[in-house]
Amino acid sequence: MDRVLIEGLTVETVIGVYDWERTIRQRLELDLELATDIRPAAADDDLTHTLDYAAICEAIAGFAAASRFGLVETFAERLAAHLREAFGISGLRLTVRKPGAVAAARAVGVSIERGAI
């Protein structure tokens, strides 16, 4: 299985368990590997035969803008389910980082795999 990559995507969302976090938008950084067969698109040089990463990035930004989760884990799980359903993705690997959440670390976060990747 081939993979479409999206690396270093930044979005803003309401995320966090503390009261002060519920009143601000914070930045998340995402890396994705999306399972697909790129051969049909490569054969015809046709975007309609592959995963449109621009459309996927727009969907992720919209999802983040509308979300209000406490945990990064919940954000990751719900986003993965949304992308798989909306774009027919058979499998994905998603890493979500929350920069600055812990003073001694550049970022904290989770990495999940759903489906065959």
Question: What is the set of active-site residues?
Answer: 98
Give which of 24, 10, 101 is closest to 68, Cα–Cα: 24
Q: How far is CA 43 from CA 35, 53, 54, 78, in A?
A: 18, 18, 20, 33
The whole-angstrom separation of Cα 11 and Cα 26 is 8
